[in-house]
Amino acid sequence: MNLKQFILLLLLLSSNMITAQQTYYIDQLNGNDSQNGITPGTAFKNFNMAISNVQPGDTIAVIGPYHNPSYNPNYTYNGIPNDPHLWHSENTIHINGLNGTSGAYITIKAYDSNTKILGDGANIVRLINCSYIRIEGLNIEGEVDRIPLSTSLALQFVYIIADNNMTGTPTQPDISDIHYRNLDEVNDNDGIVESTDIYTDISNLPVRRPSYIDTRGMYLTNCENIMIVNNTIHHTPGVGLRVAGSKYVVITGNEIYRCSARSYSGTHALVVTKTKPIDHNANSITIERNLVHHNYNEMYSWTPQKTIINPRIDEGKGISLQRNNLNNWVNGQGRILVANNICYWNGYSGVHSNDGERIDFINNTCFMNSYTNTVTYANDTQMGKNIGISCQRGNDIRMINNISVIDAGWGGFALSAGSSTNLEVKNNLVYGVNGTLFYDPDINDINTIEQNPLFINAPITYLDETNTFDFHLQSTSPAINQGDTGGYVPTIDYYNHQRDANPDIGAVEFFVTGVNTFDDNTLTLYPVPAGNSVYINGLNEPAGYTIFDMSGKILKKGVIRNHKIQLENLPEGIYTVEILNKYFKLIKSL
């Protein structure tokens, strides 16, 4: 090497050092805030230490379990409604004003499969006024399995007015500060919620309710250029994921299940509300390739401004778009895309918009999203017809290439519009079980197919979230090759596979079947998605394998024997497998 080459090498190395991205590690169990945080062995203890050091392009990796300060998985309600643990309203991870750049997102991710973000306060992950952030691969877990329904029922009408008249504080109220909404009636005061009861509007007061039974999984406010990718959000008493007043948000590849069950606020699994416009006709919000299931309410809901309480469970949707019709949105540009999602056994509607403009529901698969009617009120008078893909009071709505299978026993709609205008509804497949399928008169649909879509494994008898469903199409499915081929159709499907020239209806293309292959004409991996093991055809054993996560980190290495790789300890997600210097895509699903 001559001198000139040596100098050029030094310049290159120094340039790389200047632009190198740094990873900061958080380990609540073993970390220490006096350390530098730049290796797993010198991890910070508290998340705020990483926030104070991180720069655009950097990564924050969370090691092991991480929870809010007062977190107590063994907490038991003692019958005292002013117990401070019910009111502490803590956030597990709270980020305000953190900004990457367009070319250097700040990434917040799991270190490995042992990472778990826990919480029993207001929010588990809370972002406010942030931009260019990527949240990836987190396992966010709430307390639903540890909160008895009896506890939520005992607290559902409890509230305080957090003003100067309190004798306690908002997080430690005195018993004299406790009010009960069901005792606020102005016409009978019997404490029993009835449809004829009238309540005083208290929305002008600083009303607060117990945070313990309304914990949200992830909540974003006033954010932009955010990517929420491949996270699992589950068992939160309140909403799983809520995005409010934001733009350029991509929500993709996440699983959200068993959320919203213990809340008094009538919430849902995935909520997007009051979206901000953008300056061109791209998507301000993109919701794609998410798995949303078994999210439903178990209590009546109430809000301070309403003067009635409906004595019936009437919320608990899968994907819910709300009030995306503010003046700046209506007069601005941009759309909301909901595509290639799979939603099943949610309370009311798999995909729904209320008061929304410029929304596209494309190639989604919705199945039996009527838990509340079908299970909770199975032997009662059925109510609520929005149990498939639906909108109310919307404008400029597209419903194209969707599958919607419903429990039709009480006249619910697979597709419904609710007085919406400027609808484009075509090439959908609808099917009703347990009764006659009725059509919403507000919808003028084109090329609708009314037949059983013939999924690989989707029993119509209710099975809870611990069971496996498979929404691949059988080879004789009437959805195959029947999709609209217009410019709205996504080029990939739920599994991120290319759709062919004659796209299928629903989230999953037929060629991605239960034994789909990713191969080089020599090796084949199946099934897709895989459970606790994946099989390899065309291989002379023994042979080595390596499994990488999406960042390229090695998760598992071993030797293939009996044409099988064991995956028991691998969390759900998308991975790469290397065998004999050839690379294959692996999808793990429980």
Model confidence at 515, pLDDT cuts 50, 70, 90, reads very low
Higher-confidence residue of 304 and 409: namely 304
Task: Name the nearest CA neighbour of 453 among 489, 429, 434.
Answer: 429
Higher-confidence residue of 113 and 505: namely 505
Segment 280-336, tens digit of pLDDT: 999 999 999 999 999 999 999 999 999 999 999 999 999 999 999 999 999 999 999
Least confident range from 48-52, 267-271, 495-499: namely 495-499
Higher-confidence residue of 535 and 193: namely 193
pTM of the model: 0.85
**389 pLDDT higher than 80:** yes
Model confidence at 551, pLDDT cuts 50, 70, 90, reads low
Segment 4-33, tens digit of pLDDT: 444 444 444 444 433 459 999 999 999 999
pLDDT of residue 154: 97
Phi, then psi, of 229 in degrees rounded to 5:
-130, 130
In the chain, the percentage of residues whose pLDDT exceeds 90 is 74
Least confident range from 147-151, 347-351, 564-568: namely 564-568
Spatial contact of 431 and 449, defined as CB atoms under 8 Å apart: no
Q: How many CA atoms are closer than 13 Å to the CA of 485, on its beta-carbon side?
A: 7
Spatial contact of 159 and 309, defined as CB atoms under 8 Å apart: no
Task: Compute how many other C-beta atoms are within 10 angstroms of the C-beta atom of residue 146.
Answer: 15
If 0-12 CB within 10 Å is exposed, 13-18 middle and 19+ buried, where does residue 383 land?
middle
323-336 burial, b if ≥16 CB within 10 A, otherwise e? ebbbeebeebebbb
Segment 96-146, tens digit of pLDDT: 999 999 999 999 999 998 999 999 999 999 999 999 999 999 999 999 999
Q: What domains are defined for the chain?
A: 524-588 (2.60.40.10)
Segment 427-447, tens digit of pLDDT: 999 999 998 898 998 888 899
pLDDT of residue 20: 58
Task: Name the nearest CA neighbour of 241 among 266, 269, 265, 261.
Answer: 269
